[in-house]
């Protein structure tokens, strides 16, 4: 075991404080020196009718800079695969048995969470919302289920769970490659952008919710016969 | 001072505080929290810099949304690694700088 003191030596602390303060002052100074500019706002506003959605942030995320979002879903999947490959010990089941009130409450809340996730997903086309907000709600439902039940999520086989985790990236990549036929990567066909974005977001919502819930749990999906 | 500049300076302050803690603290959980403080400082700075002339520019907002998900993914994996380090070495902390490293991870 190391010493209880969690701090570095005084000299290192001084150098670190100077470095951090200099960086903070430099960033603050650069911010005050920024010229007033509307950035890319007018370019985005000008292309909004072609984007297939009505909310500018969703248009940037899923259309104008769609490859950012594709890579982001891929990073989430990568983190999930890397965490599963660490083979952390499963959380001990039944150690602190949750009360009946919590279990009953979770059974009431989870369907509500799923409906709300669907609403947020649909809302993303014209207001703040979308796949990540909806996926975070699904993940919240998964975390509540994990805490209340203390066992694997749902009756699905591990292969099905892994498939659902990959679904978002797979659908996103498929749409990107299909669009490649008529133009460039992720350049949606004219007039079908709205439908394709909804398809990508629906698939991503499921994958994001599953990935975040399993990142919270830390354990791999196990087949039913090996469950406690 | 405009409120947007206040948010920007608060973001720069968060980046500085996080960088200090990232260097100085040896416990892995504190390092992970420090990285998240830096990340949130970057997000706050970006959002504060978006509305410099009239209505906000949606591109920095979209970048911050992307960044939040990447930060959550990295944090979750870092926490899993920290648990693994604790299981393997008995402590979720880096060895002291003047130690012989015999009790630390990786030796």
Min Cα separation B90/chain A (Å): 7
Of B16, B27, B80, the CB nearest to A20: B16
Q: Is the Cβ pair A19, B23 closer than 8 Å?
A: yes
Say whether residue A6 is in contact with chain B using an 8 A CB cutoff: yes
Q: Is the Cβ pair A31, B48 closer than 8 Å?
A: yes
Q: Is the Cβ pair B93, A6 closer than 8 Å?
A: yes
Of A32, A61, A83, the CB nearest to B76: A83
DSSP bridge pairs for B93: B27
Please give the average per-residue pLDDT across B19-32, as a whole number: 93
Query: What pLDDT, on the 0 to 100 scale, is given for residue A209?
Result: 93
Other Cβ atoms closer than 10 A to B23 = 17
Residue B38 — very low, low, confident or very high, per pLDDT cuts 50/70/90?
very high
Q: Is the Cβ pair A6, B25 closer than 8 Å?
A: yes
Of A2, A8, A41, the CB nearest to B103: A2
Query: What pLDDT, on the 0 to 100 scale, is given for residue A219?
Result: 80
pLDDT averaged over consecutive 10-residue blocks of chain A (228 residues)?
Answer: 58 91 92 80 80 81 82 93 84 65 88 94 83 92 83 74 92 85 71 83 93 87 64
Tokens found for residue A207? 């994958």
Q: Is the Cβ pair B62, A3 closer than 8 Å?
A: no
Query: What pLDDT, on the 0 to 100 scale, is given for residue A94?
Result: 54
Please say if the pLDDT value at position B1 is more than 60: no
State which residue of chain A sits closest to B57, comparing Cα positions.
A41
- Spell out which residues of chain A touch residue B5, defining contact as CB-CB under 8 Å: 31-32
Residue B70 — very low, low, confident or very high, per pLDDT cuts 50/70/90?
very high
Q: Is the Cβ pair B48, A78 closer than 8 Å?
A: no
Domains and CATH numbers, chain B: 3-89 (1.10.287.3510)
Say whether residue A8 is in contact with chain B using an 8 A CB cutoff: yes
Q: Identify the CA nearest to A90 among candidates A224, A225, A218, A226.
A: A218
Query: What pLDDT, on the 0 to 100 scale, is given for residue A129?
Result: 80
Min Cα separation A144/chain B (Å): 17
Q: Give me the residues of A, 134-173, that contact B with CB < 8 A.
A: none
Q: What is the DSSP string of chain A?
A: ---S--SPPHHHHHHHHHHHHHHHHHHHHHHHTPPP--TTHHHHHHHHHHHSSS-HHHHIIIIITHHHHHHHHHHHHHHHHHHHHT-PPPPPTTSSPPPHHHHHHHHHHHHHHHHHHHHHHHHTTTSS--HHHHHHHHHHHHHHHHHHH-S-SSS--HHHHHHHHHHHHHHHHHHHHHHHTTSSTT-PPTT-HHHHHHHHHHHHHHHHHHHHHHHHH-SPP--GGG--
State which residue of chain B sits closest to A81, comparing Cα positions.
B77
């Amino acid at each position: 075991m190391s010493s209880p003191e969690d701090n570095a030596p005084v000299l290192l602390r001084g150098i670190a404080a100077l470095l951090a303060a200099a960086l903070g002052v430099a960033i603050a100074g650069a911010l005050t020196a920024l010229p007033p500019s509307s950035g890319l706002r007018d370019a985005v506003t000008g292309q909004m009718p072609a984007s297939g959605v009505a909310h500018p942030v969703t248009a940037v995320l899923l259309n104008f800079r769609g490859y950012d979002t594709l890579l982001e879903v891929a990073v989430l999947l990568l983190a999930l695969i890397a965490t599963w490959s660490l083979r952390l010990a499963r959380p001990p089941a039944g150690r602190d048995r949750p009360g009946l009130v919590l279990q009953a409450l979770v059974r009431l809340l989870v369907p509500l969470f799923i409906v709300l996730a669907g609403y947020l997903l649909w809302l993303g086309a014209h207001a703040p919302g979308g796949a990540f907000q909806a996926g975070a709600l699904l993940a919240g439902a998964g975390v509540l289920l994990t805490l209340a039940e203390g066992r694997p999520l749902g009756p699905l086989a591990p292969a099905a769970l892994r498939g659902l985790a990959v679904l978002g990236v797979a659908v996103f990549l498929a749409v990107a490659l299909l669009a490649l036929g008529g133009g460039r990567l992720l350049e949606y066909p004219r007039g079908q952008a709205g439908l394709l974005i909804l398809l990508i977001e629906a698939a991503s919502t499921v994958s994001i919710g599953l990935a975040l819930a399993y990142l919270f749990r830390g354990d791999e999906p196990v087949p039913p016969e090996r469950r406690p | 001072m405009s409120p947007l500049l206040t948010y920007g300076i608060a973001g720069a302050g968060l980046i500085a505080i996080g960088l200090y803690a990232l260097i100085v603290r040896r416990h892995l959980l504190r390092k992970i929290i420090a990285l998240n403080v830096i990340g949130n400082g970057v997000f706050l700075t970006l959002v504060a810099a978006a509305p410099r002339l009239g209505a906000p520019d949606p591109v920095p907002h979209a970048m911050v949304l992307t960044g939040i998900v990447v930060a959550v993914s990295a944090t979750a994996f870092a926490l899993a690694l920290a648990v693994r380090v604790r299981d393997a070495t008995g402590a979720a902390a880096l060895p002291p700088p003047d130690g012989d490293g015999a009790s630390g991870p990786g030796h």
